Amino acid sequence: MHKLPTTLLLNIGHALDHMFLLIFATAVTSIAKDFGISRWEDMMPYGVAAFFFFGIGSLPAGRLGDLWGRRPMMIVFFIGIGLSAILVSITQSPLQLALALALLGCFASIYHPVGIPMLVQGETRPGRAIGINGLSGNLGLAAAALVTGLFVKYFGWRMAFVIPGIVTLLLGVLFAFIVKPSPAPATKKKSATGSHEGMSMRKLLLIMTIASTSGSMMFNFSTNSNFELLTDRFVQISQDPAQIGFYLAMVYAAASFTQLLVGTLIDKIALKPLYLGIVAIQLVALAAATTSGGWMFYASLILFMAAIFGAIPFTDAMIVRYVDDAMRSRVAGMRLAVALGASSLAVWLIGPIVKQAGFGRLLAVMAATSCITLCVVSLLPKQKAPVPMTT
């Protein structure tokens, strides 16, 4: 069990990881105007590199986490993402911005394959720990919407990167001071044999990767378009960026608690029926959102974001359940490299889809992606009641 300060800093790190990746999408209209680009949709492709390297970077990050150590990698995460954010703030062209965001994505890629295995190492209730960690990450999305909206309105988009960047640098120093070095990297610890409940590890990893990829597509489609989507559907209610940011922050804050609930349930009931139920709710809520506007759309947005967030803990829970701690960072890194690298395509697609066909078509694409997740999850084997985890 990790001591409270370490756990707290790891959860804050998850919040910051997601917050930094969403600042660009939240401030994209302001950034486009600053760089002389008339439509925000034309600016979105410049953010793709951040998400591509966020995915691909997970592979070397996971390997280094197991071989070099998770503590030093987390220090690199805090310091690197803070410096990268400051670099983004001083860019003077879309190309410079894209390169700086790509660097930010590289450092952001460290967290999931390193921070989460560090968090659950030694946990007897990993679902609960993953749920709280997921809640923290999604509260980072809420913070991005709220804080970025306020900064854009009162100080400009550049300060939305500078101030969080400075705070993250300070947290990196605090992490290095508080978290003591581990006796040995994970690969040097005694291994244990896990049970796969009748399914080969290769097939399990394939299912996890495909489900994670479609789930990551849903996450990127939604979080990178929600600010503009809410602005479009709230045209009769508000067009103020600070107010839109507040409304969106409330969506993320409310939806985030789904991960806490799911994390608790993962420790008590089988994964497959729970996972299928969450994805089915996604599909129904997205169908409702395609034909609604105003406050009805807002209710649908809360529901489908709750279901999107609620699906996130499952692949991490399967890794904890089936993969030995000595390999978790590498396995997580391989899964994330494929899933997040491929899902970066979603960020690029948002602009062209909305520009040519509107947000209704984007919501339809999201519903189709949810169907893919539903089909893949149905391939998971039936599972027995969960048993206490050992590492």
Structure tokens at 13: 């790190």
| Residue 146 CB partners (closer than 8 Å, separation 6+) | 245, 246, 248, 249
Q: For residue 387, is it within any domain?
A: no
Q: Considering the entire predicted model, what is its pTM? A: 0.71
Q: For residue 383, is it within any domain?
A: no
Q: For residue 386, is it within any domain?
A: no
Identify the DSSP state of 114.
Answer: I
pLDDT band at 148 (very low <50, low <70, confident <90, very high): confident
Q: For residue 161, is it within any domain?
A: yes
> Of the given ranges (54-63, 192-201, 233-242, 365-374), which has the lowest mean pLDDT?
192-201
pLDDT tens by residue, 91-143: 999 999 999 999 999 999 999 888 888 887 766 677 778 888 888 887 887 78
The total domain count for the chain is 1
pLDDT of the residue at 259: 80
- Average model confidence (pLDDT) for the chain? 82
Question: 113-132 burial, b if ≥16 CB within 10 A, otherwise e?
Answer: bbbbbbbbbebebbbbbbbb
Q: For residue 391, is it within any domain?
A: no
Q: For residue 384, is it within any domain?
A: no
Question: 264-282 burial, b if ≥16 CB within 10 A, otherwise e?
Answer: ebbbeebbbebbeebbebb
- The single-letter code of the amino acid at 54 is F
CA angle centred on 45, ends 44 and 50, rounded to 5°: 95
- Domain assignment of residue 352, given as a range: 4-377
pLDDT of the residue at 347: 72
In the chain, what percentage of residues exceed pLDDT 70? Answer: 84
Residue 218: name the closest of 144, 306, 294 by CA: 306
> Of the given ranges (145-159, 282-296, 309-323), which has the lowest mean pLDDT?
309-323
Q: For residue 317, is it within any domain?
A: yes
pLDDT of the residue at 314: 79
**Does position 197 have pLDDT exceeding 80, yes or no?**
no
pLDDT band at 360 (very low <50, low <70, confident <90, very high): confident
Q: For residue 32, is it within any domain?
A: yes
pLDDT tens by residue, 214-232: 888 888 888 878 888 888 8
More confident site: 63 or 308: 308
Q: Which CATH number belongs to the domain containing residue 204 in this structure?
A: 1.20.1250.20
d(CA 376, CA 279): 11
